[in-house]
Structure 1
């Protein structure tokens, strides 16, 4: 007997396993794009805290696209915030040339605050 059976009535495929016919379920083949750091953080958050939303995205095949879009938004927002904060606080190339340690400290502070904003606005919401 065949291992895979097609039911013409409902248009579904079944796989024979032992005495049972189990429905063959596959997620649609989508364009697999790599998910970056921000997308991975958001994925971990929705898996733990928003399970129904996660399962809806997963079963509809939209999870990867959603995460790559969010990752791109977060990355763009991060660079924009760092640039704006650095300009506002006068952290320039001149400061970098004059006092490298001060520049590094201030840039680390700016990046830390930008990460905090992104986490609150996009990742953990």
Structure 2
């Protein structure tokens, strides 16, 4: 939340600086390629205040498995800055999906390795399923 507030304050300062014609000229001189520094921000008036109309990038709603939920909880509790960064950039769901797929792949590999280490085969499973 603090990170979002800092970004909003910085964006508001840049927007107010761009309204000054002298500063606009200086910025144009220092930006010869014409790269857009920031897109236009719209405001909604509420009482005496102008509130910026900002929204987070939309991510599709996805049901995650056990491991993605565990990783999200870990990030929330122990790596708060990383969690907020991924959340505000709109990359949290993609990151959690990647973690879920990685864990499932590793789990499958480990299961195969354990089966091979114990010498179990399909024939043994058919002959003595309880052993």
Q: TM-score range by the shorter chain?
A: 0.5 to 0.7
CA offsets, 1:17-46, max 9 Å, x none?
Answer: 333221222122345544322111100111
Gap regions ≥5 residues in structure 1: 1-6, 103-125
The answer to whether 1:48 aligns with 2:77 is yes
How far 1:11 moved relative to its partner?
A: 0.8
1:65 to 54, 73, 94: 94
SS across alignment from 2:130: helix
TM-score w.r.t. the length of structure 2 is 0.62
SS across alignment from 1:101: coil
Gap regions ≥5 residues in structure 2: 1-15, 20-38
SS across alignment from 1:15: strand
Partner Cα separation in structure 1 for residue 124 and residue 46 of structure 2: 69
- Compute the RMSD of aligned alpha carbons: 2.4
Partner Cα separation in structure 1 for residue 125 and residue 44 of structure 2: 65
1:23-102 equivalences in 2 (<5 Å): 23-102=52-131
Asked which structure has the greater CA Rg, the reply is 2
Partner Cα separation in structure 1 for residue 42 and residue 84 of structure 2: 23
SS across alignment from 2:74: helix
SS across alignment from 1:77: helix
